[in-house]
Amino acid sequence: MSQTPPSTATPASSTTSNDANTMESTLQESRMFAPPAKVAEHAHISSIEQYEKMYAESIENPDKFWGEQAANLHWFKKWTRVLEWELPDAKWFVGGKTNLCYNAIDRQIDDGLGDQVAIIFEAEGMIDGKADVTKLTYNDLKREVSKFANVLKSQGVKKGDVVTIYMGMVPQLAIAMLACARIGAPHSIIFGGFSANAIRDRVEDGKSRIVITCDGSWRRGKVVPLKDNVDQALTMTDRVDTVIMYQRTKQGAPVTNGRDKDWDTLMADASDDCPCEELDSEDLAFILYTSGSTGKPKGIMHTVGGYMVYTYLTSKYTFDLHPDANDVYWCTADIGWITGHSYIIYGILPNRVPTVMYEGAPDTPEKDRFWEMIERHKVTKFYTAPTAIRAFMKWGDDYPDKHDLSSLKVIGTVGEPINPEAWIWYNQVIGAENCPIVDTWWQTETAGHMITPMPGATTTTPGSCTRPFFGIDAAVVNSEGEEVETNQGGILVIRKPWPGMLRGIYGDRERFHDTYWSKVPGFYTAGDGARKDENGNFWIMGRIDDVIVVAGHNLGTMEVESALVSHFSVAEAAVVGFPHDVKGTGVAAFVTLKPAHEESDELRKKINAHVAKELGPIAKADKIIFAEALPKTRSGKIMRRLLRDIAAGKEITSDTSTLEDRSIVEKLQAQA
Ligand code: PRX
């Protein structure tokens, strides 16, 4: 299983196969990138042999591996057993007592690090042309979090009560969530881009009687009316009796009645003394809703001990965090997503590295905002999403080129498969061919990274998330659970429990069972298709539902999309199947063009010829639909089920509440 890294970080070669019979795995991306010496030299995991040895130990003796790792964190009482496993129910660190907030904040203060910066917050708006930056030390955080924890208690919140949080990306969001963790009240954070209906649904499902919000949040210089959305939601449910509002924008939205309370007023009177609740390892830490492709959102449950250990360890190794080497870490996600929960707050703070929180949009005031921030804060570890990377590519290299990005050491991506084209751009333009890219595959349900490179050890290949994290027994199988052959597409499963695994869907045991544990008996099914190559590297092919069978061949939508995006005129592409008289299923490609390229039939032909060259004629699109933009969820995922309906010429009947911009769909329908 060992990899032979090439001697330099330059691509070795790239080959593609045109053989339609091997269509499941035709995009044979084979450029390899060894870990740059500047990272490998000092990395926690500094060679592939070290990774392989630790990985083998973690799989052979998980109790020993996880017990030793958990012992690096603070426990009020040590566990008696590392794991109790009765499929599908796992209990980790059984009998242990701990607290996520203690490990995020107090543990650092105990060790004399109270004055170190924990959070670097940058507001979207500038003050006199200068960045508006607030730094919070661990001491600051402990004071504010303790006060807000006392505020929650004063409002009747007790251990076990679900607290709904719907705020913008401001420090008060971090403070509110950590305050919940401090007193053992599970939070249910709703992304600030969601609408009133989403709030109503989550409040109802979580049986939450309190909502923490802001008057509004800043986005591209405009106010997002968060409090208005809460007010509207609460006309549709009478479950909530208390709303606490932080005045961020001060643009109206006054506190109006007995139900609504003002954050600052409550904080002014609150004591800053609030010891952490000693929680059981398996107490509920939070609920986070994830939208399924069908049906209502699922409230994914994570518990205290396992979530804490798993996010701490994945943060440490995947981003190779070193508090004593001036690391500054920035994840551009919103805290309303699992990426923000795990990799802005809970996994990063216990690693003692400052975490950057940015309030606003990447193109405000200009399209170089992210690069300006990396330069300003000397960010060393940067984590973003393929959808953002594709937007940066479209905006052009001039924006990053204006800035000194030399502080960067590790750059990461998450959320979707990253097309090789975008990977190469990220490597060259942002990483200066000297930063390993960690393409991290994981899910809301997994709490943390599952398949990911170790930046100082793993040789990477564009488009592959490489190899499993410690303790993760990942495999590609058929529906009987048998491993498929090398490079054959199959179902991605996890065969052993891990500390960060979801503990259920809130209030829906049956759905938990059906969604994750019934498709391949005995294993956790992620819902993704994947293949594993001869080096043991995993390649995510997309959601299982997204695989298209054309004339008897399996096409991973991801592979066709990557071929499309590798054409010089294409900025972004989404591929779906549609009913086709002859082939059974045809390929429809929705394509956005780079600036300065005109839509034409001629261009359609050229793009298709390119796809045929890259993947084989079978992958040619039967329809290419040019689009100004693709329909995406608010977290940036392309909504293929809508595109499937559009391509098939059907009415859209499925739920569109998570869609960012509805007008895009109407424009596409007019064309398809
Ligand atoms: O399909 C996979 C895709 O995103 C799904 C999980 O989405 P969510 O729960 O919203 O969590 C996003 C943040 C972890 C997965 O089932 N996905 C995520 N990361 C990758 C990915 N697909 C390919 N490569 C990735 N690195």
pLDDT tens digit sequence for 325-350 = 899 999 999 999 999 999 999 999 99
pLDDT of residue 8: 31
Q: What is the mean pLDDT of residues 656-667?
A: 76
Please give the Cα distance from 123 to 424 (Å, whole number).
Answer: 31
Q: For 217-232, b where at least 16 C-beta lie within 10 A, e where not — what string?
A: bbbeeebbbbbebbbe
- Cβ–Cβ < 8 Å for 608, 589: no
pLDDT of residue 82: 98
Q: How far is CA 534 from each of CA 14, 35, 600, 614, rounded to the nearest angstrom?
A: 16, 19, 41, 21
Q: Whose CA is nearest to atom 25 of ligand 1?
A: 441
Q: Is 129 exposed, middle or buried (0-12, 13-18, 19+ CB in 10 A)?
A: exposed
Please give the Cα distance from 148 to 144 (Å, whole number).
Answer: 6
Please give the Cα distance from 653 to 96 (Å, whole number).
Answer: 47
Q: Which of 133-142, 246-255, 276-285, 453-462 has the lowest mean pLDDT?
A: 246-255
Please give the Cα distance from 334 to 350 (Å, whole number).
Answer: 19
Contact 526 CB / ligand 1 (< 6 Å): yes
Q: Which of 24-38, 267-281, 384-398 has the lowest mean pLDDT?
A: 24-38
Contact 314 CB / ligand 1 (< 6 Å): no
CA of 543 to the centre of ligand 1 (A): 9
Q: Which of 65-69, 193-197, 551-555 has the lowest mean pLDDT?
A: 551-555
pLDDT of residue 262: 95
- Cβ–Cβ < 8 Å for 135, 119: yes
Residue 633 has pLDDT above 90, yes or no: no
Q: Whose CA is nearest to atom 22 of ligand 1?
A: 416
pLDDT band for position 301 (cuts 50, 70, 90): very high
Please give the Cα distance from 561 to 613 (Å, whole number).
Answer: 14
Identify the residue with better confidence: 576 or 15.
Answer: 576
Question: Residue 513: in which H helix or E strand, if any?
Answer: helix 509-517
Q: Choose one of 344, 416, 464, 501 to mutate for the ligand 1 pocket test, by most ligand atoms within 8 angstroms of C-beta.
A: 416
Q: Which residue has the tokens 């003002």?
A: 262
Residue 274 has pLDDT above 60, yes or no: yes
What pTM was computed for the model?
A: 0.87
Q: Where are the beta strands (DSSP E) in 366-513?
A: 381-384, 410-414, 437-440, 474-477, 490-494, 504-505
Q: Which of 38-47, 258-267, 507-516, 631-640 has the lowest mean pLDDT?
A: 631-640
Contact 383 CB / ligand 1 (< 6 Å): no
pLDDT band for position 22 (cuts 50, 70, 90): very low
pLDDT band for position 139 (cuts 50, 70, 90): very high
- Cβ–Cβ < 8 Å for 169, 334: yes
Give Cα 545 distance to the centre of its chain. 20
pLDDT band for position 552 (cuts 50, 70, 90): low
CA of 451 to the centre of ligand 1 (A): 11
Contact 436 CB / ligand 1 (< 6 Å): no
pLDDT of residue 14: 35
Q: For 367-384, b where at least 16 C-beta lie within 10 A, e where not — what string?
A: bbbbbbbbbebebbbbbb
Q: Choose one of 331, 414, 640 to mutate for the ligand 1 pocket test, by most ligand atoms within 8 angstroms of C-beta.
A: 414
CA of 448 to the centre of ligand 1 (A): 11
Q: Where are the alpha helices (DSSP H) in 529-654?
A: 557-565, 601-615, 640-647
Contact 633 CB / ligand 1 (< 6 Å): no
CA of 372 to the centre of ligand 1 (A): 28
Question: Residue 23 contacts by C-beta under 8 Å, 6 or more apart in sequence?
Answer: 553, 554, 555, 615, 616, 618, 619
Q: Whose CA is nearest to atom 24 of ligand 1?
A: 417
Q: Whose CA is nearest to atom 4 of ligand 1?
A: 415
Q: Which of 142-151, 197-206, 255-264, 422-431 has the lowest mean pLDDT?
A: 255-264
CA of 443 to the centre of ligand 1 (A): 5
pLDDT band for position 551 (cuts 50, 70, 90): low
pLDDT of residue 371: 98
Closest CA to 386 of 536, 574, 537: 574
Q: Choose one of 441, 445, 452, 469 to mutate for the ligand 1 pocket test, by most ligand atoms within 8 angstroms of C-beta.
A: 441
pLDDT of residue 28: 58
- State phi, psi for 146 to the nearest 5 degrees: -65, -40
| Torsion angle (degrees, nearest 10) of CA 288, 289, 291, 296 | 160
Helix, strand or coil, per DSSP, at residue 302 = strand
Q: Whose CA is nearest to atom 26 of ligand 1?
A: 441
Closest CA to 137 of 109, 164, 158, 176: 109
Closest CA to 202 of 480, 493, 507: 507
pLDDT of residue 15: 34
Identify the residue with better confidence: 83 or 253.
Answer: 83
Contact 291 CB / ligand 1 (< 6 Å): no
Question: Which ligand 1 atom is at minimum distance from the Cα of 338?
Answer: 13
Residue 261 corresponds to which amino acid? K
Per-chain mean pLDDT for the chain: 91
pLDDT band for position 12 (cuts 50, 70, 90): very low
Q: What is the mean pLDDT of residues 120-133?
A: 96
CA of 416 to the centre of ligand 1 (A): 5
Identify the residue with better confidence: 2 or 131.
Answer: 131
Question: Residue 86: in which H helix or E strand, if any?
Answer: strand 81-86
Please give the Cα distance from 38 to 23 (Å, whole number).
Answer: 38
pLDDT of residue 655: 66
Contact 384 CB / ligand 1 (< 6 Å): no
Residue 292 has pLDDT above 80, yes or no: no
Question: Residue 200: in which H helix or E strand, if any?
Answer: helix 196-206
Residue 390 has pLDDT above 50, yes or no: yes
Q: What is the mean pLDDT of residues 505-515?
A: 95
Contact 561 CB / ligand 1 (< 6 Å): no
Give Cα 40 distance to the centre of its chain. 25
Long-range pairs for 122-125: beta carbons < 8 A, 24 or more residues apart: 122/356, 122/357, 122/358, 122/359, 122/373, 122/377, 123/170, 123/218, 123/359, 123/360, 124/218, 124/219, 124/220, 124/221, 124/358, 124/359, 124/360, 124/361, 124/364, 125/218, 125/221, 125/360
Percent of the chain with pLDDT over 90: 77
Q: Choose one of 307, 331, 472, 540 to mutate for the ligand 1 pocket test, by most ligand atoms within 8 angstroms of C-beta.
A: 540
Please give the Cα distance from 355 to 363 (Å, whole number).
Answer: 21
Most confident stretch, 177-191, 553-567, 574-588: 177-191
Residue 9 has pLDDT above 50, yes or no: no
Contact 425 CB / ligand 1 (< 6 Å): no
